[in-house]
Chains A and B, each alone.
Chain A
Amino acid sequence: MAGFNTCTERREQMESEPYLLPLHRRAGRSLFSILSERRYAGYVFLAPALIYLIAFSVYPLLYSVNVSLRQYILSKPYLGMPWVGLENFWRVLSDSHFHYSLAATLYFTVAAVSIELLLGLGIALLLNRPILGVGIIRTIVVIPMMIAPVVVGLSWKYMLDFDTGVLNYFIRQLGIQPPNWLGDAKAVIPALVITDVWEWTPLFVLLLLAGLQAMPQEPFEAAKVDGASSWQSFVHLTLPFLRPFILIALLLRVIDSLRTFDIPFVMTAGGPGRATEFASLYAYRQAFSYYYVSVGIAAAFIILIVITLLSNLLVRALPMQEVEE
């Protein structure tokens, strides 16, 4: 800023830009007029988002950290909330059923996401071709994703019913004894995988189709001129170009599957026995069935750490490499 030549110039400048005045010389001005000054305006613009974030994200997060380090039993409020340090975390980590829950969650995630990726890629490649009615087919393909998971769970619960389910009806027509999908501990996780694949394959289709349509055509034309086969083009061009899209889709779905709750809650309530008590359901049960709220929160934090670690591993395993020249 240029220097002031005279006192008059300085006064005139200050009158035109009142925020240059020290606070004690702004007496008598309204709060609105002060907040309208340029130096405060930024804070005012930020304030709604900041207050919202603090009230609904930061404060609950800090509060839940605090509760996880205390003993809080919802059904026994008269016991107060005594400090127990890391005891809740130790309790969760030493519970063999939590180990099972994590393992079952991983099994479900790996199985569901792998199938969704393969199916999604296949359908996206099909829909990327100029076929009749492709617009309608794309719309139909994404419908499952638009349905609320609870509705999906209830619908599949009926479709997978041992006696009256439509799936077992067709299996019986083939002369095969169908599995007891939701009542047999060996069949129940595959049943949930089928449901999840039905609902979430469209997400892979959408993202991968977007990736396929954004690809430059020149490298494919060059490869064709050089005599590359379709398979070679797919492996050496399509897949590398799709890599960032696959990574995003995988990340979204892996995170979502690791914290899956609604479908098993509706379809099996964690059963038979505790066979489908996935990690999120384990945390829920601790907090809202047994009322050990602090243990439930500790379990949720452990799940959060596991999800963060796995997501990082995934990002490292699938770097966004450039297509080789």
Chain B
Amino acid sequence: MAKQKGTIAVCLLIVVGLLAGLLVPGAAPAMAQEPVTIKAIMMQGGGWVGVTRELIPDFTAKTGINVEIEEQPYGALKDKAILEMSAKTGVYDIVVLDTAWLAEFAEAGYVADLTPLIEKYKTPVDGYLPPQAQACVHQGKYYALPFEIDTRVLGVNMEMAQAAGITEPPKTIDEFVDAAIRMTLDKNGKNPRDPDFDKDNIVQYGFVHTGLSGPYIALDFAPFMWGMGGDILRENGPKDFTVVVDSPETIAALTMYTELLTKWHTSPPASTTFEENQQCDVLRLGKGAMGILPSPSHAGHLNGSLGFEDTKVKGKFKFVPTPANPPNKPKTRTGIWAIFIPADSKHIDEAFQFAQWITTDNEAAVKYAKLGGASPWMAAWSHPDVTAVYPFLPEVMEVMLVSWAEPPIPEWGQIRQIFGEMASEALTQQKTPEQAVKDAAERMRQVLKDAGYPNP
């Protein structure tokens, strides 16, 4: 009997424990007063993570606030962040993400409106590169601070170009295709136009795709589409967008982009799975002549920035606007990784202090840029210490100042994903460019229709 009573007591204890756990989820032991630690989540492999870690001790010494960084792979980063923010767990105080999702997060109420804090701390937002700062604004309010520039440029290895008889980086799409073919060489030095070209023994690729399905290839292909007069959405007015991706111009651009790989072999076969770092590695090791690069960070990698000292092409690359056939103008998106502060963060003020310090403190921004980060703080780019290390900065600055802001609509992240899948399906020859574009347009229209747009 006593044994049974003991068992019953244990069962009851478990029941009480389970019920307490289920009904009082927020119960947590009281903690002694400790210095504030803010927790940030960033993309694994992003060059800026290592650079940020180098700067954290300076911030902690100045403010007493500790900063911890959690890294997640690109694919899991947004999913994890949005799950935590939607569940209001308050786990993260800083989320570093692409501004493609800014409108989505802002309208969902997942991220804090930083405008009051900008006023409180008198944040000098005018010191940021204007397009990159504007990408953090939604309906007149700042929902993030710009952190790491991701604007695309065309990188051209001028040593390889000159060896192929090309004296200037290509300006038009036609010049670009010609240059890509001429700079692709087999082991006998022949290019794909030569009847004896050996496509199984290529030693130098003319243009290296960033071909992984999704956002990667989307950002790689889009500049060519714009350069040939195509587009994804047409803005008719506020909250009124129409899908225009299924235009002859986009199909022509996708055909050209696909044929570079399938017909002319200007890109490594494995480039259909390349992320930006893998593409940059091919260029950095001297096996590729051209690529669409996130600037200026990957431009820095090619020139031997922190962690990339083994580069074989230091000083050989020139960075120029992406090519365009007249009357179209070079167009590249205003990519910017931004610092978001989740609305449920318990340390919004401290997180903002860090965001402001690392992006606007002159000393911090210069150190950040010198280490290979791509700070949006304009003064950093004209600082002599930085320009001495990166003499190409005026070239990339020119592109950054005229870059294009993505549509500030919550559906943009999904539209871009579909656009990337479209390009990948064509590049890997699962569909013809016509079919891929047609299918993608249908899916995009469904997204806009579901969201209530009047003329999808």
A residues at B contact (CB < 8 Å): 32, 35-36, 41, 44-45, 47-48, 51-52, 55, 74-78, 161-163, 177, 180, 182-185, 265, 268-275, 288-291
Contacts and interface: CB of A to CB of B under 8 A. Distances in A.
A129 B15 CA distance: 51
Interface residues of B, number: 46
B197 to A, nearest CB: 15
Given A75-B107, A274-B421, A288-B83, 8 more contacts: A32-B9, A35-B12, A36-B4, A47-B11, A75-B105, A77-B109, A162-B270, A273-B428
A289 B421 contact: no
B86 interface: yes
18 contacts: A32-B8, A45-B8, A51-B15, A75-B104, A75-B410, A76-B410, A78-B107, A183-B272, A185-B428, A269-B75, A269-B212, A272-B425, A272-B428, A272-B430, A273-B425, A273-B431, A275-B428, A288-B82
A102 B246 CA distance: 28
Contacts, number: 124
Interface in B1-48: 4-5, 7-9, 11-12, 14-15, 18-19, 22
Given A161-B270, A162-B270, A269-B75, A76 B12 contact: no
A185 B268 contact: no
A52 B424 contact: no
Contacts of B8: 32, 35-36, 41, 44-45
The 8 closest A-B CB pairs, nearest first, are A271-B213, A183-B272, A273-B425, A162-B270, A272-B428, A48-B14, A183-B273, A273-B424
Contacts of A275: 428, 430
A183 B410 CA distance: 31
A78 B211 CA distance: 36
B408 to A, nearest CB: 14
Contacts of B211: 183, 272
Contacts of B417: 289-290
A270 B75 CA distance: 11
B12 A270 contact: no
A59 to B, nearest CB: 10
Interface string B249-274: 00000000000000000001111110
Contacts of B79: 288-289
Contacts of B269: 162, 180, 183-184
Interface in B392-417: 410, 414, 417
A289 B80 CA distance: 11
A212 B422 CA distance: 51
A135 B12 CA distance: 46
Nearest to A168: B270
Nearest to B80: A288
Contacts of A74: 82, 86, 108
A180 B270 contact: yes
Given A51-B18, A161-B270, A273-B213, A36 B5 contact: yes
B111 to A, nearest CB: 12
Contact of B12 (A44, A177, A182): A44
Contact of B424 (A32, A75, A162, A272): A272
Interface of B: 4-5, 7-9, 11-12, 14-15, 18-19, 22, 75, 79, 82-83, 86, 104-105, 107-109, 200, 211-214, 268-273, 410, 414, 417, 421, 424-425, 427-431, 436, 447
B11 A44 contact: yes
Contacts of B213: 269-274
B271 A51 contact: no
B268 to A, nearest CB: 6
A300 B108 CA distance: 25
Contacts of A75: 82, 104-105, 107-108, 410
Contact of A183 (B18, B82, B271): B271
A243 B410 CA distance: 55
B273 A268 contact: yes
A271 B105 CA distance: 26
Nearest to B21: A55
Contacts of B9: 32
A272 B18 contact: no
Contacts of B82: 74-75, 288, 291
| Residue of B79, B107, B272 most packed against chain A (CB within 10 A) | B272
Given A51-B15, A74-B86, A274 B425 contact: yes
Given A48-B14, A275-B430, A78 B109 contact: yes
A76 B5 CA distance: 52
A290 B431 CA distance: 23
Contact of A271 (B22, B212, B431): B212
B291 to A, nearest CB: 16
B273 A48 contact: no
Contacts of A48: 11, 14-15, 18
A163 B424 CA distance: 20
Contacts of B268: 162-163
A290 B446 CA distance: 12
A290 B410 CA distance: 11
B214 A271 contact: yes
